[in-house]
Amino acid sequence: MYKRKRLLLSAIVTAALLTVSACGSGGETKGAAPGNNQNNVNREPVEITFYRPNNATTEEQFMDLMGTAIKEKFPFVTPKFIPYGNGTKMEEVISAGVDLDIVLLSIGFYPQFQNLNLSTNLTELIKKYNYDTSRLETTTFDFIKQFGSGGKIDSLPIFTTAEVLMYNKDIFDKFAVPYPTEGMTWDDLYELSKKLSRTDGGVQYYGFLTSISHMLNTNQLSLPFVDSKTLQPAINTEKYKKLAENFARFYSIPGAEIPTAKYGKEADMFVKDKNLAMYAYFNSTMVSAAKDMNIDAVPLPSFKEMPGVGSQMYSTFASVYSNSKHKDVAFEILAYLTSDEMQVKFAKDGTGMPIVKNTKLLESFGQDLPQLKGKNIKAFYPTKPAPVSPRTIYDDLSSKYAVTALREVAQKVSDVNTAFRKAEEQAAKDIEAAKKK
């Protein structure tokens, strides 16, 4: 499936490139400064088409997110958005020859898109417009540079998120246990979790849980699921086993073992059942749950040998489509999306944390959301984010087995060595099978 789909898309892309190879940047004004309205006066009207694969964003949501702001900043631009769904999956959009200009990508879909060579190398446009890449969050921009071969910069990040530790103050107050604090280690959190793992009034309470898949995906040790050079699974290592044992112990606290049916439903335990005292996930849960829960947050605990190191950033990116006829204007829009003006906009409405190094912008996060008033917003942004792990198109074939292995260790149905050896063997078989399809 993987290989067949890549070959199909590659063939489609090649044909599309041949038909538009004579097209340049569409005759846009040369040398115009990104976002400078003084250069917009004499520009010809242009339609810029956006696409967001593997995301259920609607056209209305896109306009609220950025479309309206782009139209106001660039009056000559008409933003058009193609929602993802039946008939508009990536291969369908490409085969239909749709004129795309900007593709919005989650980091999870990033490898699949970039490996198809569907993005424009932005290096020359960055130079042309004197765009300052040094203002971008370091680990995220490092990831872009590492992913692009030969120094290729194939996207710009537009906003980000990271893991944060949320806690239900009502449960802490009920049992007179002090709230979690900044600077904790995972060992500290484990001791705190044991104090909150108890039965009261017929209700079983749990101390701490997380979304295992997301925690591994953004792990603080920057461990990859697949070796990016050999394309072999990389999960049967001592560091991975250490990571697994760290989280598995929270699921098997004596007297408060997690039922098998609750694995994968940790968010429901925190938000709906309200019997989970602490939950680690992206701040999106905080944004929604704070509407009717007495919760707050602190930074994610760290490993004692890596004090203060938080999770990896989980960013959203924007690429200029390789066949865009309006590459200059598209890049100007990308530059505008990373401007302080738009970074504040994304932050205020809770869309995402700033992707630029101006930490003062973080203070504006959630300002348009009453439920976040008085919350510890600074906890959302790691002071020292872990470097972003290398990514490959086979990550999902390895990550699912890593998650299963961790669960088996937590449930004590397998020891860590056996679980991860079996996981890597299974992942290797799936990857090899995928390469042959």
401 near 419, Cβ under 8 Å? no
DSSP string across 61-84 = HHIIIIIHHHHHH-TTEEEEEE--
371 occurs within a structural domain: yes
State percent of the chain over pLDDT 90. 79
pLDDT of 35 higher than 80:
no
Q: Which residues share a beta bridge with 199?
A: 204
198 and 269 both lie in a single domain: yes
Closest CA to 164 of 342, 304, 290: 290
| Alpha-carbon span 388 to 138, nearest angstrom | 10
9 occurs within a structural domain: no
Q: How confident is the model at residue 90, as a pLDDT?
A: 80
306 and 367 both lie in a single domain: no
pLDDT of 318 higher than 70:
yes
Q: In Å, how far are 253, 382, 390 from 240, measured between CA atoms?
A: 21, 22, 15
pLDDT of 425 higher than 90:
yes
421 and 381 both lie in a single domain: no
pLDDT of 271 higher than 90:
yes
pTM of the model: 0.89
pLDDT of 401 higher than 60:
yes
Q: Please report how the helices 416-436 and 395-410 are oriented relative to each other, as an axis angle in degrees rounded to 10.
A: 160
Element (H, E) at 92: helix 90-95
pLDDT of 411 higher than 60:
yes
The phi, psi pair for 253, rounded to 5°, reads -65, 125
pLDDT of 255 higher than 60:
yes
| Alpha-carbon span 69 to 67, nearest angstrom | 5
Q: Which residues share a beta bridge with 263?
A: none
Q: How confident is the model at residue 12, as a pLDDT?
A: 39
352 and 322 both lie in a single domain: yes
Q: Which residue has the tokens 């602190």?
A: 298
257 near 128, Cβ under 8 Å? no
Alpha helix segments (H runs only) across 340-394: 340-348
52 and 148 both lie in a single domain: yes
Q: Would you give the distance in Å from CA 269 to the centre of its chain?
A: 23
Angle at CA 123, nearest 5°, toward 10 and 127?
A: 155
263 and 303 both lie in a single domain: yes
pLDDT of 79 higher than 80:
yes
pLDDT of 25 higher than 60:
no
52 occurs within a structural domain: yes
138 and 259 both lie in a single domain: no
Confidence of residue 151 (pLDDT cuts 50, 70, 90): confident
pLDDT of 291 higher than 80:
yes
| Alpha-carbon span 131 to 328, nearest angstrom | 13
Q: What is the mean pLDDT of the chain?
A: 89
pLDDT of 137 higher than 60:
yes
Alpha helix segments (H runs only) across 197-237: 212-217
Confidence of residue 210 (pLDDT cuts 50, 70, 90): very high
9 near 93, Cβ under 8 Å? no
Q: How confident is the model at residue 375, as a pLDDT?
A: 95
340 occurs within a structural domain: yes
Element (H, E) at 318: strand 316-320
pLDDT of 72 higher than 50:
yes
321 near 250, Cβ under 8 Å? no
Parallel/antiparallel/unpaired status of strands 77-82 and 46-51:
parallel
Span 328-348, pLDDT tens digits: 999 999 999 999 999 999 999
Confidence of residue 112 (pLDDT cuts 50, 70, 90): confident
Residues 6 or more apart in contact with residue 61 via CB below 8 angstroms? none
286 occurs within a structural domain: yes
Q: Is the dihedral of CA 276, 279, 283, 284 positive or negative?
A: negative
- Name which of 54-58, 141-145, 301-305, 358-362 the model is least confident about: 54-58
Q: How confident is the model at residue 2, as a pLDDT?
A: 52
202 and 108 both lie in a single domain: no
Domain boundary among 386, 406, 428: 386
92 and 178 both lie in a single domain: no
State percent of the chain over pLDDT 70. 90
Q: How confident is the model at residue 40, as a pLDDT?
A: 45
Domain extent for 124: 26-161+314-386
Parallel/antiparallel/unpaired status of strands 163-168 and 309-312:
unpaired
65 near 45, Cβ under 8 Å? no
pLDDT of 204 higher than 90:
yes
Query: Which CATH number goes with the domain that contains 51?
Result: 3.40.190.10
Q: How many CB atoms lie within 10 A of CB 231?
A: 15
Element (H, E) at 312: strand 309-312
pLDDT of 17 higher than 50:
no
Q: How confident is the model at residue 42, as a pLDDT?
A: 57
129 and 203 both lie in a single domain: no
Q: How confident is the model at residue 96, as a pLDDT?
A: 83
- Higher-confidence position of 233 and 1: 233
235 near 401, Cβ under 8 Å? yes
Q: How confident is the model at residue 37, as a pLDDT?
A: 42
41 near 72, Cβ under 8 Å? no
| Alpha-carbon span 296 to 287, nearest angstrom | 10
Confidence of residue 33 (pLDDT cuts 50, 70, 90): very low
- Longest C-alpha distance within the chain, in Å? 73
Span 113-127, average pLDDT? 91
Span 171-199, pLDDT tens digits: 999 999 999 999 999 999 999 999 999 99
293 and 346 both lie in a single domain: no
Q: How confident is the model at residue 13, as a pLDDT?
A: 43
78 occurs within a structural domain: yes
Rg (CA), the chain: 23
Confidence of residue 93 (pLDDT cuts 50, 70, 90): confident
Q: Which residues of 88-104 are buried (b: 16+ CB within 10 A; e: fewer)?
A: eebeebbbeeeebbbbb
Confidence of residue 88 (pLDDT cuts 50, 70, 90): confident
pLDDT of 108 higher than 50:
yes
Number of domains in the chain: 2
pLDDT of 14 higher than 70:
no
DSSP string across 259-314 = PGGGTT-HHHIIIII--EEEEEEEHHHHHHHTTTS-EEEEPPPB-TTSTTEEEEP-
170 and 73 both lie in a single domain: no
186 occurs within a structural domain: yes
353 occurs within a structural domain: yes
